[in-house]
Amino acid sequence: MTENPDPLLGRQGTAFEFPIELGKVREFCRAIKTRAPEYQDGAVTPPTFLMASALWQSRENSPWGDDAPNLSRLLHAEQEFVFHGPPPGIGTVLTGRSRIDRRYTKTRKSGGVLVFTEIVTDYRVEDRLVAQVRQTLVETSKAAAQ
């Protein structure tokens, strides 16, 4: 594994608002097939619900800017959710902001190069950090065979 100095490192998207709405949480629960009562009444949200914030974001909110990876070569490798207290409940309006936190490369045995990018999205209520989502994406040196 080699650390790769990269101009994308540390780049941030603009902040976005993510209101947590009961109907959207219930739809999400239906999609993940859970009937947990604490989710149905909106006391807290499922931890992975924060991924629904992608529907509230635009291109300006992406830390990639004009340097987005080639989607035909992009893999989703890992995702981690960290909460600083309970997951937010219904009526909470989160402010999210994503940044490219780490980038590195690995050379495959076949000779191809994999570029790993870790993107962290911080979610705040006012100035208080309530959650973070870390995604690891991998860009391969060539597109997958179809």
Q: If 0-12 CB within 10 Å is exposed, 13-18 middle and 19+ buried, where does residue 33 land?
A: exposed
Query: Whole-number mean pLDDT of the chain?
Result: 90
pTM value is 0.87
Q: How many whole angstroms from its chain centre is CA 51?
A: 6
Query: What is the tens place of the pLDDT at every residue in 59-87?
Result: 899 999 888 888 889 999 999 999 999 89
The answer to which of 21-25, 66-70, 115-119, 130-134 has the lowest mean pLDDT is 66-70
Provide the pLDDT confidence category of residue 55 given band limits of 50, 70 and 90: confident
Longest Cα–Cα distance of the chain, Å, equals 52
Q: How far apart are the first and last CA of the chain?
A: 29
The predicted pLDDT at position 110 comes to: 81
Query: Is the pLDDT score of 98 beyond 50?
Result: yes
Query: Is the pLDDT score of 10 beyond 60?
Result: yes
Share of the chain above pLDDT 90, in %: 64
